[in-house]
Chains A and B, each alone.
Chain A
Amino acid sequence: MSTVGTSPADVRALRLAAIAVALIAGVAFVVPGPAGNALAVVAVAAAVGAPLARLARVGVGFARERDWRFAALAAAVLAVVGAGAALAAVVS
């Protein structure tokens, strides 16, 4: 049995991340003007970054369990995402 991504610490971190992103988005929702816009950008960055950070954490967990095949697959997904963002920057 593997505990990758499902340890009590992981569960707690995921719950806190969701609450933090919701709070930032909530404040951005009610604060007008440039401050609200800046918080909106932070909320978007956090919402986009959280699944990728979770994936990275899972990849590290696989490596710690010496499950190299799946650690490599997690790294490959992150590489694909990074390559896609870089490609989009070049194209646009």
Chain B
Amino acid sequence: MRKFLLPLLFLLLFIIESLFVEYLPAKVFGMERIFVPHFLFIAILFLTIFVGRKHGIIYAAIFGLLFDIVYVEIIGIYFFLYPFISYLIYKLLQIIQSNIITAFLAALLGISLLEIGVYEMNYLIHVTDLDFIGFINLRFYPTLILNAVITLVAAYPLKWLFEKHSEALRAE
């Protein structure tokens, strides 16, 4: 049972992300901004921080590939960025102490890196012609605020779940 818990949780987050965007209206609080949910990536970052590097990067690669195939149809963008940023965050939290506050800040840093990375890649392959300032105003700030709120709510349950999971792993 415990073995299937994490994949199921991640799959659920993977689908909720798309449902969230499906029902999000064009104007939120009267502003036409683009809010991008990163539920899945927040969970992957917390997994990397509280369970371990190996787990985090494997999950990041698998779900990055799935994300690319199902939602983006360009294979490579998330398949590369998810594991890469997870690794960077892991390295960062080796230097500073990992507790819930640093994990929260690290998750925000990871999401900003992801957004900027995806923007740069899409700009390179001409999926978008938005300039950087436009990107910051239209997408970056709203996305960061949305995900900060989500992380704030989800941080404690995720930490509890993953710490329990890592204890179970050690006991095996």
Chains A and B come from one and the same complex: no
Q: A residues bordering B, Cβ < 8 Å?
A: none
